[in-house]
Structure 1
Amino acid sequence: MSSAQQPAGRPKRSAEESRRWRALGVCLTAAFMTLLDTSIVNVALPSIERGLHASQADLSWVLSGYALTFGLALVPAGRLGDLRGRRNSFLIGMALFTVFSMGCGLAPGSAWLVVFRLAQGAAAGLVSPQVSGLIQQMFSGAERARAFGMMGSIIGISTAIGPLVGGLLIQAFGEADGWRWVFFVNLPIGLGCLAAAWRLLPRRDPQAGRRQSFDPVGVLLLGLGVVTVMLPLVQEQQWHGAAKWLLLPAGALLLGGFWWWEGRQDRVGRSPLFQLSLFRMRSYALGALLAMVYFAGFTPLFFVYTLFLQTGLGYSAFQAGLASLPFALGSAVSARLGGRLVVRYGRKVVVLGLGWVAVGLAGTVLAVHLTPGQSAAWAAAVPLLAAGFGSGLSIAPNTTLTLAAVPVRLAGAAGGMLQTAQRIGSAAGIALVGAVYFAHLASSHSWPGALQLGLLTALGLVLLAIVAAVADLGTDRGDQPVGGNRSEAGG
């Protein structure tokens, strides 16, 4: 009898079960660290600018370069874990992430900081798909949904709490060098995570040791395609003129070439980087689309809101981070709940969660409109709490449903592609919402008006995600029951 079928009243976990849940704690700690670094730097940029005399171009690469290399590494790293072992890939990624974090903190100049930041993002991209792959490998049925619920909690909390943690560190260590501790904080956590991972993560992976091609041509085509698509998005504010948008059709051609090559690899009996057959699973295809569109609407919230508070209202880094805390609290409460509810109600939970996000964003727009000045953050606290609650009900259940029918042997690459969709969505959302925000600010010089228009743009993207979720409402049973057990679940 599987662990998912054990009686609810069992007094004590077995040693093997306890080890799995402790291993999950290690994975979630790593996920928290890598995702925290996508937002913790936001409030540290003024401190970096003063401390290193960094240019606006340098600051842009410190912020967006991490997202770029993170997204670039995800699918190849997931495939590497599937083929050569997720434990080893996790350990190498965490070691590199810790070393490069130290390099960021010790950087003597802005150019060195950019280099280490790019390397740190690539290391984070090596770690991240191993987390979802290990969850697929270690858990099945309702336990897997619960584990993904905890992962969803981490995603929501780490993204929202980043500005608060960054603000606390800068306040504690000073404006001149406080930014260095934004990176140094990863060192003790990373070392502890490495020691625990060495002891707890499963040593045998389903595919480890199988001799299959890593598909270097596929890696090259996908990498060039992702970079070409993401570059104009992450550099939208720094690269002036319309010529940068020519990279988007070029990137689309490269990704089309990747699609053709992967199909060819499969037809001739070679091992592709990514199994295109996964996109024939309606749950996976629509789930990845929903994730991309939702992250396009969800991620820019913290970008424009932090800008509004710090630059428009004169909040300190700590105060701006504290203002984002209600969203993190709402997400923390609901993500665990969503992980349980998705087993019974399926995609309906995602639709409900996205509805709450839409209501929360609309309420934030209304709060800023009705309460101008320094009290705006207080007025927006309750709507942000509602948006965070909805986000927790959206991310984890969608991840569970999207990966439910994916064979464990493909879990790393499938999780990597899902997260690549999220990263591309985040970059596109920040570019679009940021463009609307700065254009309105330049024409009207109204910080509240710019924030409201930016949030309404984000709200439109969330409504598109609701459309995708509703389209998938009748398909929860089309590929694989979420709560069912799989023959591959144990690897």
Structure 2
Amino acid sequence: MTSVDARASVLGEYTPDPRRWRALTVCLIAGFMTLLDVSIVNVALPSMQDGLHASASDLSWVISGYALTFGLVLVTAGRLGDDRGRKRMFLAGLVLFTATSALAGAATSGTWLVVARLLQGAAGGLLNPQVIGVIQQLFRGRERGRAFGLFGAVVGISTAIGPLLGGLLLQGFGDQEGWRFVFYVNLPIGVLALFAGARLLPHDRIDRNASRHTLDLVGVVLLGVAVVAIMLPLIQAEKDPSGAPWWLLAVGVALLGGFVGWERRYSRRGRQPLVDLGLLRTRSYAMGTSLGLAYFAGFTGIFFVITLFFQRGLGYTPLQAGAAMLPFAMGSAGAAALGGRIVSRYGRALVVLGVLAVAVGLVGTDLVLGAFTGGHVGLVTALPLAVAGIGSGLTIAPNQTLTLAEVPPAEGGTAAGVLQTGQRIGSAIGTAVAGALFFGSLATTHGDYHQAAALGIRGSIALVLVAVLVGVADLVLDRRHRRAQGSLPPRV
């Protein structure tokens, strides 16, 4: 028996659901839809501004508001799914996401669109932990690695293909009204996923005792306000670091400390806390969550900088800019599927290799931007971006598999919520760092987009290297642990 299968056996009895792969397809479609809306909107901002006469502040909140409310509800949504039923929460989130997509597409003013995006982000945050929770519930052992590999491919593709799909929609429906179809495209997908999910997702089996637990409302408020306090200055720093309310970071950290204290007290009373802090004492979970935060900081900043460079610096159309990012998407999708299959063999070493490949690809991209100018830059960046994409595919899915390997299925949604909240905070950090470097360089070099993009990419490289250090530290700690136990089998 492999270490994956042995660990799976201690996490509870398991009878494979014959419909698990079809249920996974529904989850992947829903996950793709919510993650796509993180990146697809970027290329439609000029169209929104023309069609709605929206202000610069409105456009900023169309992007940042979605990320903020998405991250705000993840942990609470995960707990609701674990305690009240994942299928129920999945379908509720899907209905809300589809409805708010229609609301956004029908907007007649900038304020309407911003409110719709805030609600859409919250719906996406409600839905996403259920996807990972269902994977935890339906799969064990090597199959779980394969399932997370497919989910990792969806993460990579949805992030990278968003600008391309957005460009196609704008080209097909025109700049004046084309932005509406960036949201309307979710409607047929959402309806299809809703009917399929109602039929294929496993029925909720709710522990009667768990169903009587009241939601830890104090914990919800403390964590929610902490997440907002941490993310808000990072989001506002994307274009104006000097004007961001950095003091809120200290408030956020203090609230996190209060949250931990409250959760311990709440648990000692014999009640169900919002987050089981015992998860953070499990090294595989704590290290994997930390690595994910650092990696997403670098990973997200890449797209922010390169999309701006192609469109503003080189004058690419949204469609051309999206096409230039395809090598990353294709490399990420293929490698994620492979990584999910082989993670049980190579463990954390595979993740470290993947993150190193991302760093190499980004260094190559930086060198290319310094050596080439003109409209053909999108072609010569294809190879280094493909290398970075392959590395990303070997990072996201395997890291998710390893991070959740020792999490009981009953806690899968909450654990996923914490993991994804870390990723959202990482994304906000990465975009703030890359944006500050990019726009700061433009201001001092009088519009040299090549130098600005190179500097932004170097910021992303630094953050990716932090993820490398976390992965290496986990490998070292693991080796010491196995030596102390007198055995050296591969850990997963």
Deviates more, 1:81-90 or 1:249-258: 249-258
After superposition, the Cα gap between the structure-2 partners of 1:364 and 1:239, relative to the gap in structure 1 and judged at 3 Å, is: closer
Residue equivalent to 1:335: 336
Aligned position for 2:74? 74
Residues 1:61 and 1:261: Cα distance change in structure 2 (over 3 Å): same
CA distance in 1, matches of 2:478, 2:143: 18
Residue 469 in 1 paired to residue 471 in 2?
A: yes
Partner residue, 1:263: 264
- 1:45: how far off? 0.5
How do residues 42-53 of structure 1 correspond to structure 2 at under 5 angstroms? 42-53=42-53
The residue aligned with 1:155 is: 155
CA contact (8 A) 1:142 1:483 kept: no
In 1, the alpha carbon distance for the partners of 2:462 and 2:377 equals 22
CA change 1:476–1:27 in 2 (3 A) is farther
**Residues 456, 237 of structure 1: alpha-carbon distance in 2 compared, 3 angstrom cutoff:** closer
> Counterpart of 2:345 in structure 1: which amino acid?
R
Partner Cα distance (2:385, 2:239) in 1: 29
Establish whether residue 213 from structure 1 lines up as the match of residue 214 from structure 2: yes
Deviations 1:65-117 (A, max 9, x none): 10000000100000000000000000000000000000000001110000000
Aligned pair 1:303/2:304, yes or no?
yes
TM-score, normalization by structure 2: 0.93
Cα distance in structure 2, aligned partners of 1:146 and 1:200: 19
Q: What amino acid is aligned across from residue 72 of structure 1 in structure 2?
A: L
Q: 1:186 to 1:482 in 2, by over 3 A?
A: farther
Equivalent pair of 1:358/1:387 in contact (CA under 8 Å): yes
Conserved? CA contact 1:86–1:205, under 8 Å: no
Aligned to 1:436: 437
Q: Which residue of 2 is the match for residue 11 of structure 1?
A: none
Taking the aligned partners of 1:199 and 1:410, their CA distance within structure 2 comes to 24
Q: Which residue of 2 aligns with 1:356?
A: 357
Indicate if the aligned counterparts of 2:239 and 2:436 stay in contact, CA closer than 8 A: no
Could you tell me how far 1:370 is from its partner in structure 2?
0.9
Shift, 1:196, TM fit = 0.1
- 2:9 aligns with none
Is 2:43–2:318's contact at 8 Å kept on the other side of the alignment? yes
TM-score for the superposition, normalised by structure 1: 0.93
CA distance in 2, matches of 1:289, 1:54: 38
Cα drift, residue 432 of structure 1: 0.9
Percent identity, please. 58
How far does the alpha carbon of each residue in 1:278-313 deviate from its partner, in whole angstroms, 9 at most, with x for none? 000011001000000000000011111111111111
Kindly tell me: are residues 304 and 243 of structure 1, through their superposed partners in 2, closer, same or farther at Cα, counting changes over 3 Å?
closer
Q: What residue in structure 2 maps to residue 451 of structure 1?
A: 453
Name 2:64's counterpart in structure 1: 64
In the alignment, is the contact (CA less than 8 A) between 2:355 and 2:467 conserved in 1? yes
Runs of 4+ in 1 over 2 A off after TM superposition: 15-18, 204-210, 237-243, 474-479, 481-484
- After superposition, the C-alpha distances for 1:318-337 in whole angstroms (9 at most, x for unaligned) are 10111111100000110011
8 Å contact kept, 1:346–1:476: no
Cα distance in 2, alignment partners of residues 183 and 83 from structure 1: 31
Whole-angstrom distance in 2 between the partners of 1:437 and 1:380: 18
The superposition leaves residues 355-401 of structure 1 with CA deviations (integer Å, 9 ceiling, x where unpaired) of 11001000111111111121111110110000000000000000000
Which residue identity lines up with residue 66 of structure 2 in the other structure? Y
Superposition pairs of residues 273-288 of structure 1, within 5 angstroms: 273-288=274-289
Task: Report the residue type matching 2:384 in the other structure.
Answer: P
Counterpart residue type for residue 360 of structure 1: G
The question of whether the paired residues in 1 share the 8 Å contact of 2:238 and 2:431 is answered with no
Which residue in the other structure is 1:460 paired with? 462
Structure 2 residue aligned with 1:233 = 234
Number of the residue aligned with 1:31: 31
Distance in 2 of aligned mates of 1:282 and 1:369 = 41
> CA–CA distance in 2 between the matches of 1:204 and 1:122?
22
Q: Tell me by how many angstroms 1:483 deviates.
A: 9.2
Superposed counterparts of 1:164-183, under 5 Å: 164-183=164-183
Question: Does the CA contact (< 8 Å) of 1:401 and 1:476 recur in 2?
Answer: no
Conservation of the 8 A alpha-carbon contact between 1:283 and 1:476: no
| Closer/same/farther in 2, CA of residues 119 and 432 from structure 1, 3 Å limit | same
User: Which residue in 2 is equivalent to 1:488?
Assistant: none
Q: Does 1:94 align with 2:94?
A: yes
Shift of 1:21: 0.2
1:142 corresponding residue in structure 2: 142
SS at match of 1:214: coil
Residues of 2 paired with 1:270 and 1:152: CA distance? 34
Counterpart-to-counterpart distance in 1, 2:241 and 2:148? 41
Alpha-carbon distance in structure 2 between the residues aligned to 1:221 and 1:378: 48
Distance, in Å, in 1 between the alignment partners of 2:458 and 2:93 is 38
Which whole-Å CA distance do the structure 2 matches of 1:237 and 1:265 have between them?
A: 37
1:430 to 1:32, Cα distance in 2 relative to 1, 3 A:
same
Displacement after TM superposition at 1:16 (Å)? 6.7
Could you tell me which runs of 5 or more consecutive residues in structure 2 were left unpaired when the two chains were aligned: 6-14, 483-488
Deviations 1:16-57 (A, max 9, x none): 754110000000000000000000001001111111111110
Cα distance, 1:378–1:89 mapped onto 2, change above 3 Å: same
The reply to whether residue 379 of structure 1 matches residue 373 of structure 2 is no
Match of 1:313 in 2: 314
Conserved in 1, the CA contact under 8 Å of 2:239 and 2:439? no
Find the residue that maps to 1:244 and give its secondary structure: coil
Q: Give a deviation string over 1:452-476, Cα, whole Å, max 9, x none.
A: 0100110011111000001111556
Q: Secondary structure at the match of 1:204?
A: coil
CA distance in 2, matches of 1:205, 1:85: 7
Residue equivalent to 1:365 = 366
| SS state at 2:19 partner | helix
Shift of residue 210 of structure 1?
A: 3.0
* TM-aligned CA distance change 1:408 to 1:482, over 3 Å: farther
Structure 1: stretches of 5+ with no match in the other structure: 6-14, 485-491
